């Protein structure tokens, strides 16, 4: 049996190498270069920008105009922003500047009540922004507009942020490349031949390209963390049900479904993560104790390198392992912490655990949502239409629609396995530990390459059904000049630990690295 698995491992790895090589040949020489960054304000965290606005050192109108210009420069290359509210944003910025000039509130009051006052914000198109298109990437919804703001948008606006654009997604947020028949395909700013991830791929791409500084995404299987990894930015999946899902699409009110889905922040700078999480959590922020200090030298650190040989997953590549070990070495050298490697054999079934959990929910299926809960879709006919270039849906959506009702044999076994894994990890990690875990086996794949590796998102998806908070942290560039990084995982309601670790890793390893030249 050992000989079989060794042979299988070699064949599987060879398949991955040949596949990647074929895609490299296909896309050779076709990449677009992003315009340079020629204003250093684009390189400042949102909290710094808000401070300058409060202190009257910067006008919100000027900042919004700067980001409008940057979006207009980069978007032809990456197609990340798909709907624009530039005029309304400038009107709101003008009102903010007038309000600050009136001195009705002190700087201290503004900082307390409106920590993001005057700062532009991007929002994933699956999350409602009043009056903006709200298609979820479906052709049948191309004329639908959001009647009101999602709860997270409402809270960020109340904190002073100005929604500027909405960004591209995969259809209904259920594939990890951002492409649909309404807006087309989004590209990665580090290499436009590569995927930006999904379903918050537009957010990740725009923020990574310095076209936005902060944004809102959602995550049901890695939809914040995978784009954050591929585009070299930070992303946080909060503890479930702390941040409201109200106003996201598809509607997420079904009780069993809610714990899988988290709305959370993406940003270029780790220092913006905690303030954003606090604002977006609203009254629930108290559950996270974000103000409590985190003593890094007292942390317990655990890690997983890989899930072992399995037909469903690509082996974690050296670039990703090197990134993980950079973090382990830092905590060992700086804080004398001895990390412990975890052996968790059931992780080889992590896709089956995720799929079993979702399939046992009473929520409408993906097929139901594609039909907007009205009638049924004949997917065999859709597949034929796709072959002829006439389908309303992308290939991944058609295939998922055809296969999602496939019964997972032994699903209850995998649900019990999931519960056992959750108990084991909560007991092991505790309230004073973190788990370092690969976000994805590889850096950003080429466009459509993920179709041949459809289950690699399971490295993130397992934590949706476990219900753990996770922060994706960028850790520089790998051998192909693409971002690498790691997931920092904690037990429920211990978001402050992963957020503090993100700030530490940004200080040590530099965080986001601009894909554009910087002209000073």
The catalytic residues are 124, 199, 223
- Estimate to the nearest angstrom the gap between the alpha carbon of 356 and the chain centroid: 23
Give the Cα separation of 400 and 404 in Å (integer): 6
**HSE value, Cβ hemisphere, 13 Å, CA-based, for 230:** 38
83: β partners: 166
| Helix ranges restricted to H, 252-349 | 273-281, 318-335
Backbone angles phi, psi at 434, to 5 degrees: -135, 155
Which one, of 492, 144, 442, lies nearest residue 316 by Cα? Answer: 442
Backbone angles phi, psi at 464, to 5 degrees: -70, -45
Give the Cα separation of 175 and 366 in Å (integer): 11
| Helix ranges restricted to H, 114-159 | 151-158
Report the sign of the C-alpha dihedral through residues 189, 193, 197, 203, in that order. positive
- Kindly write down the DSSP assignment for every residue of 136-148, as one continuous string: TT-GGGTT-B-SS
Query: How many CB atoms are located within 10 Å of the residue 305 CB?
Result: 15
289 conformational bin, left if phi > 0, alpha if psi -120 to 50, beta if neither:
left
State both tokens at 303.
């890690």
């Amino acid at each position: 049996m050992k000989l079989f698995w060794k042979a299988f491992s070699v064949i599987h790895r060879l398949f991955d190498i040949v596949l990647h090589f074929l895609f490299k040949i296909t896309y050779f020489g076709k990449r677009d270069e992003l315009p340079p960054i020629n204003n250093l304000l684009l390189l400042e965290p949102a909290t710094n920008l808000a401070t300058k606005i409060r202190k009257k050192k910067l006008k919100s109108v000027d900042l919004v105009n700067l980001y409008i210009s940057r979006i207009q420069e980069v978007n032809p290359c990456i197609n990340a922003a798909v709907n624009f509210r530039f005029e309304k944003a400038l009107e709101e910025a003008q009102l903010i500047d007038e309000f600050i000039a009136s001195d009705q509130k002190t700087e201290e009051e503004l900082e307390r009540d409106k920590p993001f006052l005057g700062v532009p914000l991007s929002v994933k198109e699956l999350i409602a922004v009043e009056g903006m298109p709200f298609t979820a990437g479906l052709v049948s919804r191309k004329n639908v507009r959001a009647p009101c703001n999602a709860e997270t948008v409402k809270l960020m606006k109340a904190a002073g942020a100005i929604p500027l654009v909405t960004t591209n997604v995969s259809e209904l947020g259920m594939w990890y490349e951002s492409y649909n028949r309404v807006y087309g395909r989004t590209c990665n700013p580090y290499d436009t031949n590569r995927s930006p991830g999904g379903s918050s791929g537009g957010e990740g791409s725009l923020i990574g390209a310095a076209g936005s500084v902060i944004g809102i995404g959602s995550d049901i299987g890695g939809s914040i963390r995978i784009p954050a990894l591929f585009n070299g930015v930070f992303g946080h999946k909060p503890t479930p049900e702390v941040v409201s899902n109200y106003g996201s699409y598809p509607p997420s009110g079904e009780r069993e479904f809610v714990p899988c889905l988290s709305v959370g922040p993406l940003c270029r700078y780790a220092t913006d993560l905690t303030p954003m999480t606090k604002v977006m959590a609203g009254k629930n922020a108290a559950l996270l104790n974000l103000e409590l200090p985190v003593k890094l030298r007292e942390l317990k650190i655990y890690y997983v390198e890989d899930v072992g040989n399995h037909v469903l997953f690509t082996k974690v590549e050296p670039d990703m392992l090197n990134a993980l070990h950079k973090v382990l070495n830092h905590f060992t050298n700086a804080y004398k912490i001895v990390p412990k490697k975890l052996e968790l054999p059931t992780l080889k079934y992590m896709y089956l655990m995720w799929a079993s959990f979702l399939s046992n929910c009473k929520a409408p299926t993906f097929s139901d949502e594609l039909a907007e809960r009205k009638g049924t879709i004949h997917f065999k006919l859709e597949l034929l239409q796709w072959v002829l270039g006439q389908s309303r849906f992308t290939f991944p959506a058609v295939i998922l629609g055809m296969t999602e009702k496939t019964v997972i044999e032994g699903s209850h076994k995998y649900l019990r396995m999931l519960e056992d894994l959750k108990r084991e990890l909560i007991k092991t990690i505790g309230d004073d530990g973190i788990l370092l875990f690969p976000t994805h086996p590889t850096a950003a794949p080429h466009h459509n390459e993920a179709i041949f590796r459809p289950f690699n998102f399971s490295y993130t998806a397992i934590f949706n059904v476990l219900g753990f908070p996770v922060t994706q942290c960028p850790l520089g560039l790998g051998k192909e000049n693409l971002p690498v990084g790691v997931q920092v995982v904690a037990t429920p309601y211990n978001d402050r630990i992963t957020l503090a670790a993100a700030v530490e890793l940004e200080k040590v390893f530099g965080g986001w690295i601009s894909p554009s030249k910087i002209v000073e």
